[in-house]
Amino acid sequence: MVNIVLVEPKIAPNTGTIGRLCVNMGASLHLVEPLGFEITDARLKRAGLDYWHKLAPTIWPSLDTFLEAHGDERLWLATTKTERPWFDADFKPGDWLLFGSETTGLPEPLRERHADRCITIPMTPEGRSLNISISVGIIAYEAVRQNYGIFKGLI
């Protein structure tokens, strides 16, 4: 359906929860190093419960390596540094949804290069950001909603 890309994730339980989400929605998970945890971390597996063995995430040694392999096509960058809401994106099957580190977000040069592909989840002024696993769920399931006929064929 879609590809979830976590760029330099730092918190194992967040990644485990996102992995569980990926299994349940038929998405692939891609992790871009450096990671803030070991892939064998018990907290990662506990958050993903019994789903982690079904996931088989792809590990990329760097963002440059990932981009060289996949190019710039069909990338969507989740960031608080844009005004375009996620529900204005035109998601297609096979899209790449990129989410940055919990502490630093996506790199500014990447956001600048793909300014037309940056999307955000609107929040009140009192909020700073959402937990990354919540953000992935909101945006990824919008991609499912937009392509429900295809998703329905997967279940």
pLDDT for residue 154: 59
pLDDT tens profile 90-143: 999 999 999 999 999 999 999 999 999 999 999 998 987 899 999 999 999 999
Collect all residues with Cβ–Cβ distance below 8 Å to 5 and sequence separation of at least 6: 30, 31, 32, 66, 96, 97, 98, 99
Asked if residue 148 has pLDDT above 60, the reply is: yes
151: pLDDT strictly greater than 80:
no
What is the per-residue pLDDT for 42? 76
CATH number reported for the structural domain that contains residue 41 in this entry: 3.40.1280.10
Domain count, the chain: 1
| pLDDT tens per residue across span 12-68 | 889 989 999 999 888 999 999 999 988 876 777 776 667 777 888 999 999 999 999
CA dihedral sign, ordered 138, 27, 57, 66: negative
| Domain region containing 147 | 3-154
The pLDDT of residue 62? 98
3-class SS of residue 16: helix
Instruction: Give the chain's end-to-end CA distance (angstroms, integer).
Output: 11
Peptide bond between residue 34 and the one before it cis (omega within 30 degrees of 0): yes
pLDDT value at residue 49: 63
Would you say residue 152 has pLDDT above 80?
no
Phi, psi of 137 (to 5 degrees): -60, -45
Angle between helices 12-25 and 132-146 (to 10 degrees): 10
Per-residue confidence (pLDDT) for residue 11, from 0 to 100? 92
